[in-house]
Structure 1
Amino acid sequence: MTATPPGDAAYLRATADFVRDHDTATLLPLLLPGLDGAELRSLAGHCRFAHAALLLLPPDEETLRTQLVACNLDFDANPQPSVVVRRRLAERHGRDEAELDVTILRPSVPGAPKERTVEIFALTVPPGSDLAELAAHEREHQHESHLAFEVQHPDPLALRGLCALLARHGAAPDGGGYNPHEDATVLYFTAPADSRTGYRRVELHAGGDHPGVLADHLGSTGADREHRSAETLLHLLTGAWTTQALAVSVRLALPDALDTRTAADAPALAHTLGADPQNLGTLLRYLTMLNVVTEHHDGYRLTELGTLLRADTPGSMGALALMYGGPFYQSFAALEHTVRTGEAAFDHLFGENHFIHFARDPELASLFDQSMAASARMFDPVPAHPAVTAAAAAPRPGTVVDIAGGNGELLGRLLTAHPRLQGVLLERPHAVEAARTRLDALGCGDRSSYVTGDFADVPTGADVYVLSRVLHDWDDARCAEILRHCARAMPAHADLLIIERVLPADSSTSLATAWDLHMMANTGGRERRADHYARLLADAGLHLLDDATPLPLGATVLHARRTTAPLPHPAQAPEATQPA
């Protein structure tokens, strides 16, 4: 056995100690010092610290085995070939990849969780080898040392989000690749300059082959990047086609004519639906691309995604497809008018506010109410907010008021989850009747009462008040007035829960950003940041508590309480309406 190269054993031992002493929660703030609490929770929820890696260049296999034993690390008799590191070494030193037999070993570390390892890239460099210069350079610079995080349940969207978050905190792409021997994609980054881990490189390790994410991460020639950018822009520009394809499929009742088990061919479907067979086939192929249907040898079947458009699916999103492919689709054609003038595109196009417009057409009003019910998944599971739980557990039955509560979907869920609660719903006359029917059907009718009116009629004396997707319909002046009505009605002990999509404090991707554009075009309202809501609440004599609760579909529960004595009752108030 040849003598161990100076420093290799100590370096290996230090790496093993690092793996033993750190976990995901302690390591991420050191690696990315600028992370805020929400980002840290998101990162920790999507990936875990898997290993620290180093490159060893032993003179022979026996020396490598001795080094591992000295550090109480097991020697893996079946190491895997390295693809990515071998390629990186070849490019860095101008060598042929075939000359570099780089293998990967991942011994577990005593005292650390079994899934946390040291990753060793091993390249044998015998004495007198022409690789000696390469070995000296790599020992000095430690290019391949890095920290790795295993991505849990990787998919392209999650991977792109993680890459964007790392980039936002100063991590720069630094290579990567796909290893077919392990069926895994690795994405390398240079650590931010202010990182405090001692490691200059970071790896995201994702099971499976993710060629699109990898191509974007690696970059390519200018021509390739231009082609990819053009393709991406085409996808964005043709988004309207997707909206109409989904809406038309619902108008044709196509999802109702299919299921997930039995296939139907295009001619048979065309006969059933009264459509042109050839053109229906074109639509079906497009819906296949969207994963709404799948094509089989005997015809088309509905996917799990596609079942959400069936009329008999609980919380069907079919009505939502008709709204987004109908009146709201038309209003977006006048988006330029909104951006230039500040007037809602819907008002400009139809000559009146969309609430008034829908109220004139019972069929459209019913479709709108159905589309709102499609967002009920926002409340699944039912928001388990401490304020509601406390009201339900009080010695006397607590009361929750749902302000502009639509068809009673949310109130019904709250009353069902808390059998001691009493409920009050404030709405317009036709919505009150729909809510009465809904709450009776849920078995909550005997604990429900109804107030027909507007925001000036918020009932007094309740324990919890709910504004669910209401404030985003209005400009700041009207929001402030609505909140003042709430403050006047609320006893000193009462809680106000505001459910909205809250804009992020930075430029991170959010559903709220998309809905901000939608509200601007259709209601003249807007989505807001938490600090914006805090200012509106403060002006109304309320204060925002620091306990925001996330909900599905990008929503958040904001919690507020009174800070002043009740304000005098106003003479006038904006009309209570169901939100868009």
Structure 2
Amino acid sequence: MITALSGDTSRLRATVDFVKEQDTATLLPLLLPGLDGPELRALAERCDFSHAALIVFPPDEAALDAALADCGLVADAPPRPSVVVRERLAARHNRSAAELDVRILRPSVECPDGARRMVEVFALAVPPESALDTVAAQERERQHEAHVAFEVEAPDPLVLRGLCATFGRYGATPDGGGYNPHENGTVFYFTAPAEAKAGYRRVELYVPGDHSDVLAAHLDEHRTRQPAETLLRLLTGAWTTQALAAFARLGVADAMDEGRGVSVAELAEEAGVLAPNLATLLRYLTMLGVVSEDRDGFRLTDTGGLLRADAEGSMRPLALMYGGPFYESFAGLEHTVRTGQVAFEQCFGENHFDHFARDPELAELFDRSMTAGSRMFDPLPAHPVLGAAAEGATVVDIAGGAGELLARILSAHPRLHGLLLERPHTVETARRLLDTAGLTARCTFRAGDFADVPAGGDVYVLSRVLHDWDDERCREILRHCARAMSDTADLLVIERVLPTDGSPSLATAWDLHMMCNVGGRERRADHYARLFADAGLTLVGVAPLPLDGSVLHVRRTGAANAGSTA
């Protein structure tokens, strides 16, 4: 152990010497051979050589302090947890992150040019005969965490993207990164090209603040360069679904206090589960960003908080639905692709509407899962059609589910009246929801089918309905709407619209889901326009909604004053 500690001290001293010898303008061309002239100057103006880093493994805190003192280093602040390095070590050595208490210190160094730079020291305590001895030995040999770092002085997204692109042009490749909430900083790691002459192959850009959008693109590029790892991550998607569903179903999220850390033992007792097994689940969810872990235990992130039953906008019902009936039926996706038959019907012997209607608990879960995606509706009450509706106008919500959307519209527009058309058992659910909101005095409830769309409405709403059906059934539904609508009535259709350029979209994922489980599909805007035209209707405009949704404004073909709301 004395030899190992002595080796750490030698590496510390070498790192101090390197920091003193280099500056931004001399170091960048060593790391990125060929970088010169205007691009070198531009890069040097936007980032500054801040530190060189290494990882050490002292037996205890006193030994670390002694090694720092030996090298003339004094930490300017108490050590902080290093989330990014801890996670990298855990993944590299197949260890629990909880047993890797990696700390970070940044003692400053007075350099000959008058600048004060730092030596970034990651420290993992490894007492004599510790189970972490092998981790320390491998890390000392391979120096995975040794790197040089530049701090970005103007943390603007365009600047960040430009810096990343410049690194790429000169042969540096993305090598991970992350956000450290303990110090509110984002790191972008690169591997320098093989011909780099700095003695370091790993380069970090450090940016104050949370820059998750730029980081996500950086990490995506990193993964595309590792196809086997990418495929393995994709193949474990089913594990993610079940981990989230189990977390919700077991009530672990409900047992967690969003404001404080909770120990595994306490959570296991509350949820009535095995503590070691729960720890495994929580580690996985930590990797997904659903929970976080610190010395006080586990706590919910904002994402994980949506799996609490009492959370505003809770998505717990979606987790139970996607991890339950729809998860079982997705095993039949191959059958659907091969034969065209709906996998849900093959699995359960009937379509999902009939299956849920026969089981009150499933029916309630389905209705709540539809409500769970209601953030899509947030901007809808401000739609110009609703804002322009006259005093006493009636909004008809066709197949309006539990009434979540209609309740939002009526709450935002006290002058409007509502009519909700739905199946009998769902009508009662909607009646209770609107009664709780104090809106039943302005709402009529009607049990029925699409053939029962009432005439006399001023604004008709068809939300997430057409994607349940094939084109012929959609035309039939739209013809019922067209017959009921006057020349002055408007129809608002809410759906996820497939992009025309192949860009990533939730609509593409839901297209697969609808094919497999419902027998429906998502469509492009021009496809919807043709269906509307076949029913005597015209698409007037399209506007975006959250969660990759869209609202399509439709009027009767030839109706007067058909204005665009695009």
TM-score with structure 2 setting the length: 0.65
- Decide whether aligned partners of structure 1 residues 176 and 432 sit closer, same or farther in structure 2, where only a CA change above 3 A counts: farther
Deviation at 1:351, TM superposition (A): 0.8
Whether the 8 Å contact between 1:401 and 1:425 is mirrored in structure 2 is yes
Secondary structure (helix, strand or coil) at the match of 2:373 reads: helix
Aligned to 2:460: 465
- Decide whether aligned partners of structure 1 residues 103 and 365 sit closer, same or farther in structure 2, where only a CA change above 3 A counts: closer
Aligned to 2:316: 318
| CA deviation profile, 1:81-126 (whole Å, cap 9, x unmatched) | 3589735873379x9xxxx9997458xxxxxxxxxxxxxxxxxxxx
- Decide whether aligned partners of structure 1 residues 174 and 318 sit closer, same or farther in structure 2, where only a CA change above 3 A counts: same
Aligned to 2:534: 539
Which of 367, 390, 398 matches 2:393? Answer: 398
Aligned to 1:91: 34
Secondary structure (helix, strand or coil) at the match of 1:550 reads: strand
Secondary structure (helix, strand or coil) at the match of 1:502 reads: coil
- Decide whether aligned partners of structure 1 residues 82 and 367 sit closer, same or farther in structure 2, where only a CA change above 3 A counts: farther
Whether the 8 Å contact between 1:383 and 1:551 is mirrored in structure 2 is no
Distance in 1 separating the partners of 2:406 and 2:440: 11
Secondary structure (helix, strand or coil) at the match of 1:559 reads: strand
Aligned to 2:496: 501
| CA deviation profile, 1:123-159 (whole Å, cap 9, x unmatched) | xxxxxxxxxxxxxxxxxxxxxxxxx9952697xxxx7
Whether the 8 Å contact between 1:284 and 1:293 is mirrored in structure 2 is yes
- Decide whether aligned partners of structure 1 residues 489 and 263 sit closer, same or farther in structure 2, where only a CA change above 3 A counts: same
Give the letter for the 1:91 counterpart.
G
Secondary structure (helix, strand or coil) at the match of 2:420 reads: strand
Secondary structure (helix, strand or coil) at the match of 2:406 reads: helix
* 334-343 vs 274-283, greater mean Cα deviation: 274-283
Which of 547, 553, 557 matches 1:559? Answer: 553
Aligned to 2:157: 151
| CA deviation profile, 1:64-95 (whole Å, cap 9, x unmatched) | xxxxxxxxxxxxxxxx93589735873379x9
Which of 263, 278, 281 matches 1:280? Answer: 278
Distance in 1 separating the partners of 2:26 and 2:488: 64
Whether the 8 Å contact between 2:224 and 2:230 is mirrored in structure 1 is no
Aligned to 2:364: 366
- Decide whether aligned partners of structure 1 residues 533 and 149 sit closer, same or farther in structure 2, where only a CA change above 3 A counts: farther
Give the letter for the 1:263 counterpart.
G
In the TM superposition, 1:142-181 aligns within 5 A as 150-151=156-157, 174-175=169-170
Whether the 8 Å contact between 1:397 and 1:420 is mirrored in structure 2 is yes
- Decide whether aligned partners of structure 1 residues 251 and 426 sit closer, same or farther in structure 2, where only a CA change above 3 A counts: same
Instruction: Please tell me whether residue 426 in structure 1 is matched to residue 369 in structure 2.
Output: no
- Decide whether aligned partners of structure 1 residues 419 and 81 sit closer, same or farther in structure 2, where only a CA change above 3 A counts: same
| CA deviation profile, 1:240-266 (whole Å, cap 9, x unmatched) | 101000101111100000012232222
- Decide whether aligned partners of structure 1 residues 360 and 177 sit closer, same or farther in structure 2, where only a CA change above 3 A counts: same
Distance in 1 separating the partners of 2:207 and 2:294: 28
Distance in 2 separating the partners of 1:183 and 1:83: 25
Distance in 1 separating the partners of 2:309 and 2:463: 25
Which of 258, 263, 266 matches 1:265? Answer: 263
Instruction: Please tell me whether residue 248 in structure 1 is matched to residue 246 in structure 2.
Output: yes
- Decide whether aligned partners of structure 1 residues 561 and 185 sit closer, same or farther in structure 2, where only a CA change above 3 A counts: same
In the TM superposition, 1:132-531 aligns within 5 A as 150-151=156-157, 174-175=169-170, 207=207, 213-214=217-218, 228-391=226-389, 394=390, 396-531=391-526
Whether the 8 Å contact between 1:177 and 1:186 is mirrored in structure 2 is no
Deviation at 1:296, TM superposition (A): 2.2
Distance in 2 separating the partners of 1:211 and 1:238: 22
Distance in 2 separating the partners of 1:101 and 1:533: 53
Secondary structure (helix, strand or coil) at the match of 2:515 reads: helix
Deviation at 1:520, TM superposition (A): 0.5
Secondary structure (helix, strand or coil) at the match of 2:312 reads: coil
Deviation at 1:550, TM superposition (A): 0.9
Whether the 8 Å contact between 1:497 and 1:560 is mirrored in structure 2 is yes
Give the letter for the 2:33 counterpart.
A
Distance in 2 separating the partners of 1:374 and 1:175: 47
- Decide whether aligned partners of structure 1 residues 309 and 491 sit closer, same or farther in structure 2, where only a CA change above 3 A counts: same
Whether the 8 Å contact between 1:400 and 1:465 is mirrored in structure 2 is yes
Distance in 2 separating the partners of 1:153 and 1:294: 30
Whether the 8 Å contact between 2:317 and 2:365 is mirrored in structure 1 is yes
- Decide whether aligned partners of structure 1 residues 178 and 81 sit closer, same or farther in structure 2, where only a CA change above 3 A counts: farther
In the TM superposition, 1:42-121 aligns within 5 A as 81-82=24-25, 86=29, 90-91=33-34, 104-105=44-45
Distance in 2 separating the partners of 1:537 and 1:230: 45
Whether the 8 Å contact between 1:408 and 1:438 is mirrored in structure 2 is yes
Whether the 8 Å contact between 2:532 and 2:539 is mirrored in structure 1 is yes
Aligned to 2:58: none
Give the letter for the 2:423 counterpart.
R
Give the letter for the 1:86 counterpart.
P
Deviation at 1:292, TM superposition (A): 1.4
Which of 539, 542, 553 matches 1:548? Answer: 542
Secondary structure (helix, strand or coil) at the match of 1:90 reads: coil
Distance in 2 separating the partners of 1:359 and 1:225: 44
Whether the 8 Å contact between 2:459 and 2:492 is mirrored in structure 1 is yes
| CA deviation profile, 1:287-309 (whole Å, cap 9, x unmatched) | 11112112222321122211100
Coordinate RMSD, CA, aligned: 3.6
Distance in 2 separating the partners of 1:84 and 1:352: 67
Give the letter for the 1:556 counterpart.
S
Unaligned runs of 5+ in 2: 1-22, 47-153, 178-184, 191-204, 560-566
Distance in 1 separating the partners of 2:26 and 2:237: 38
Q: State the aligned residue count.
A: 401
Secondary structure (helix, strand or coil) at the match of 2:354 reads: helix
Deviation at 1:235, TM superposition (A): 0.7
Secondary structure (helix, strand or coil) at the match of 2:388 reads: helix
| CA deviation profile, 1:202-243 (whole Å, cap 9, x unmatched) | xxx9956978855875x8xxxx976x1111111100011010
Give the letter for the 1:497 counterpart.
L
| CA deviation profile, 1:151-197 (whole Å, cap 9, x unmatched) | 2697xxxx79xx9xx9xxxx9973476999x999799xxxxxxxxxx
Give the letter for the 2:494 counterpart.
I
Secondary structure (helix, strand or coil) at the match of 1:91 reads: coil
Distance in 1 separating the partners of 2:528 and 2:446: 26
Give the letter for the 1:399 counterpart.
T
Give the letter for the 1:553 counterpart.
L
TM-score with structure 1 setting the length: 0.63
Secondary structure (helix, strand or coil) at the match of 2:169 reads: strand
Identity, in percent, stands at 60
Deviation at 1:404, TM superposition (A): 0.2
Give the letter for the 1:489 counterpart.
A
Distance in 1 separating the partners of 2:206 and 2:553: 38
- Decide whether aligned partners of structure 1 residues 298 and 421 sit closer, same or farther in structure 2, where only a CA change above 3 A counts: same
- Decide whether aligned partners of structure 1 residues 389 and 153 sit closer, same or farther in structure 2, where only a CA change above 3 A counts: farther
Distance in 1 separating the partners of 2:550 and 2:255: 36
